Amino acid sequence: MALVERSYQLLTIQMRDRDLNKSSVEMRFSALADLTDFLLAIPTVVVAALAGISDAVVVGWTLTRQAVDSAPADPGEASDVERKGVFSALTDNGHTVTVSVPSIKNTLVIDRTNQINLADALVIAFTNILDGTTLLDTAFMVSNRDEPVIEVIKGEKHHRASSKG
């Protein structure tokens, strides 16, 4: 099968009570005429409406759109998500950010090292997304400080438990 895009956005509003128990309200939205207006409406209008009928507090929300493969092919024998390709990159302010790729191909790792071959054409095609503007015309990758990623400087093979993603 293939990844098939779902036609809706899922809004999950996370709530918490006095004893820190968690619960949520889930709803779908098929079309968002103006995404910016909608994102503003969540904490102001939707949260306010919930506050009128609930004693819990809203602690956060997520809005998600997905594409899902409902019948994926069997992964190859060599696949192992705990074998990760960890790419390190610099932001325009000199900070570093990392991106992990589960089950990095061993053929992209330089023999007798754990270094990923950054000169390989397949690797370049991927790192161009991290430090370039090829993902979107208007959006690019940033760090958690909102600093643009400007250069991938290193790629290493690591083994990490899959529970950490």
Task: Pick out residues in 82-111 that bind another protein (CB under 8 A).
Answer: 82, 84-85, 99-105, 108
**Type of residue numbered 157:** K
Site for another protein in 21-60 (CB under 8 A): 21-32, 35-36, 38-43, 45-47, 49-50, 52-60
Told to check if 62 binds another protein by CB under 8 A, we report: yes
Alpha-carbon distances of 42 from 7, 45, 61, 94, rounded to whole Å:
20, 6, 8, 34
Closest CA to 61 of 99, 30, 22: 22
CB of 114 to another protein, least distance (A): 15
Site for another protein in 144-163 (CB under 8 A): 144, 146, 148, 162
CB atoms within 10 A of CB 148: 13
CB of 164 to another protein, least distance (A): 9
Longest dimension (CA), the chain: 63
CB of 9 to another protein, least distance (A): 6
Give the torsion sign (CA, 92, 97, 99, 104).
Answer: positive
Told to check if 138 binds another protein by CB under 8 A, we report: yes
CB atoms within 10 A of CB 131: 19
Binds another protein by CB under 8 A, chosen from 90, 131, 141, 152: 141
Told to check if 125 binds another protein by CB under 8 A, we report: yes
CB of 73 to another protein, least distance (A): 6
